[in-house]
Structure 1
């Protein structure tokens, strides 16, 4: 099982995108609970979700379209108006395994292709227990958030640059709002060298929020964090693990070395002002 390559058919792609939609909606709702207001939304849209959490949030997007019919133009127009009212572009993350009619609809409505993101996955098996990685304690949350946010802000130079970039405090809030995640820290020389998290959704281990402090890069930190989460995901009963990276990045190389297969590349389609999103706050990795 551990060595078996993972093939992504339409059913698996739908399962992965629905898990991402749940993470997006629950984290968007958590942002409103944190603020104590009802600004924004997380509304169903043709089997996916349209979400606005707060200004410049990585959870401002539409995800999961094309696996349960094509969104009616009237509903899509309502979503576009809701984003416009909040001064935000509409960013759709669209799987190539979705109904092609969705892409055609978005193009007709003025969306443009802005970028891609790589979605990788692997079956779970024995990953070993790496040294120097552990779950954080409750009293370490603020330190962990700061370390991951600061490390995410220093992008790796390999691969395509991300179209996504967030203010530090926005990134910290997004990391805090991620619903149901388990947070891990890798320590080197008695310091926090990097952090990562994952959550379980319908048997999928979603790897999220990973970053390595720049001076500790190329020292096996991401590999250790990956192996720790793979072991925990297998113990939690997941059958697959999924991660999203920038195409051609060091992070993509790292996860492929740990047995992840490139499943597909989501297209990032935007209508309105160019989107401002995360560099590591969601499931994208920072090496």
Structure 2
């Protein structure tokens, strides 16, 4: 599919800006942090794809994390790794998660799907947590309530079967929060949710749509079938040593 030559930097800028919606926000050089609540995986900083973070920016970010009581965690896309990895590694950051990054150019879209958009954030979060599993409820409540988040529900036989979310920032339509209730898996729920959000993204005037996915998962297969192309990876690095998840400080 046709792609922007600067797609990954464009995506990094949009994700860094959008990430600030999820809670108490702060900026440290190219790092855009948010604290959403105790123990939530949303507590992290996004690298905005510009210059590498320097030691001063990282020290300030780490002080912010110590203040709110969360391990220092940084998300960055694969094109930024060569410049940022050295300073991050020197401060004790190590890779904790890798996701594949896919994009869709919004010109050749799959057929429309019968999916409803809802404004009931509480019901959506409850449904989403049924798909993601135990312990995901608080995170999905934050996601559902974030400004600019659009919420979608797919049904089977009149019953809510799956959920997903969409936000558009800086021309990038971010597709996220997709889950299917266990009893409805294998019935095309994710396919419908992907198609519906691609059409919504196009109608909103986005330049392209993006999604992050676990490599080799069933969701990755569904994303490929929907016409997305692999464009890179999202790396998550967490600080080890004193004050980090493997250190001795609380």
- Give the TM-score normalised by the residue count of structure 2: 0.89
Matched with 2:156 is 188
Mapped partners of 1:46, 1:81: distance in 2 = 14
Q: Specify which structure has the bigger relative contact order, considering alpha-carbon pairs within 8 angstroms and separated by 6 or more residues.
A: 1
The reply on whether 1:152 has 2:135 as its aligned counterpart is no
Partner of 2:122: 142
What is aligned with 1:213?
181
Question: Match of 2:10?
Answer: 15
Q: Is the 8 A contact 1:23 1:179 kept in 2?
A: no
The separation in 2 between residues aligned to 1:261 and 1:205, in whole angstroms, is 15
Runs (4 or more) in structure 1 with deviation over 3 Å come to 6-9
- Structure 1 217/63 Cα, relative in aligned 2: closer, same or farther at 3 Å? same
Q: Secondary structure at the match of 1:98?
A: helix
Contact 1:70 1:101 in 2 (8 A): yes
- Greater strand fraction, Structure 1 or Structure 2: 2
User: How far 1:85 sits from its partner (Å)?
Assistant: 2.8
Contact 1:23-1:178 within 8 A present in 2 as well: no
1:273 and 2:241 aligned = no
Consecutive unaligned residues of structure 1, counting only runs of 5 or more, are 29-40, 155-166, 275-287
- 5+ residue gaps in structure 2? none
Contact 1:8/1:263 (8 A) holds in 2: no
Structure 1 residues 110 and 143, CA, compared in 2 at 3 Å: closer, same or farther? same
Distance 2:50 2:136 in 1: 36
Distance 1:59-1:109 versus aligned 2 partners, 3 A rule? same
Which secondary structure state, in structure 1, belongs to the residue aligned with residue 37 of structure 2? coil
> 3-state SS of the aligned residue for 1:129?
coil
Count of residue pairs the alignment pairs up: 241
Aligned residue in 2 for 1:204? 172
SS of 1:238's partner is: coil
Distance 1:101 1:202, change over 3 A: closer
Which residue pairs with 1:251 in the alignment? Answer: 219
1:86 aligned residue (68, 71, 80) = 68
